[in-house]
């Protein structure tokens, strides 16, 4: 059976991720309920607003099932706000904001500051032959990386693409370009 990738669809931009998976021949479905979460083999947590997403995870009843599936090793790709949701520790978050510790990193929200709150950069990514054009929108970056976390790309020495086992997180939005290599990398981690 082909893998079914869930796209957490509580808030944020899902459609570009769906198109990327479609272009790669993978099936993706929206996830808004615990039943839908239980039916997927992998999950994407998209960009958006991590504080809002954290609240909606609570009110939708998804918070506990999500924590459980992450603890059980659900392959997950978090982009931007999704990276924040998956981190062990969040700096400059709201006090009631929840993160799930699926990857042992500390991230700082809106870390690039106001002046450069959105920018684009051609990133060298470990394992990819050519640079990746990366779109950053009020992006976080990683301030601490735990043992077992691979840093695959950085901007000015700040990690912006990390992986720990089957969890991949990017501070930027790979779904906003037509470069499919990171979605492909994620799919390759799903058995």
Residue positions annotated with a catalytic role? 80, 173, 175
Binding site for ligand GLN (CB under 6 A): 47-50, 80-81, 84, 109-110, 137-138
Work out how close the CB of 169 gets to ligand GLN at its nearest, in angstroms, rounded to a whole number: 12
**Least distance from C-beta 66 to ligand GLN, angstroms?**
16
Q: Cβ closer to ligand GLN: 30 or 41? A: 30
* Residue with smaller CB distance to ligand GLN, 47 or 75: 47
Question: Distance between CA atoms of 148 and 13, rounded to whole angstroms?
Answer: 30
Q: How far is the CB of 1 from ligand GLN (least distance, A)?
A: 31
Q: What CA–CA distance (Å, rounded) separates 119 from 155?
A: 11
**Residue with Cβ nearer ligand GLN (137 or 190):** 137
Min separation Cβ 62 and ligand GLN, Å: 17
Of 27 and 110, nearer to ligand GLN (C-beta) is 110
């Amino acid at each position: 059976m082909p893998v079914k990738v869930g796209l957490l669809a509580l808030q944020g931009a899902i459609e570009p991720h769906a198109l990327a998976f479609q272009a790669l021949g993978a099936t993706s479905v929206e996830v808004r309920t615990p039943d839908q979460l239980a039916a997927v083999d992998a999950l994407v947590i998209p960009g958006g607003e991590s504080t809002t997403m954290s609240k909606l995870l609570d009110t939708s009843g998804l918070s506990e099932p999500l924590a459980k599936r992450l603890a059980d090793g659900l392959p997950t790709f978090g982009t931007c706000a999704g990276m924040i949701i998956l981190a062990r520790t969040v700096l400059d978050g709201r006090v009631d904001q929840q993160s799930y510790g699926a990857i042992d990193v500390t991230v700082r929200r809106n870390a690039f500051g106001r002046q450069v709150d959105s920018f684009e950069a051609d990133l060298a990514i470990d394992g990819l032959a050519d640079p990746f054009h990366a779109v950053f929108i009020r992006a976080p970056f990683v301030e601490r990386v735990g043992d077992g976390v691979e840093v695959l790309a950085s901007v000015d020495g700040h990690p912006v693409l990390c992986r720990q086992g089957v969890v991949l997180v990017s501070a930027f939005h790979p779904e906003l370009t037509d470069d499919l290599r990171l979605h492909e990398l994620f799919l390759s981690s799903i058995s």
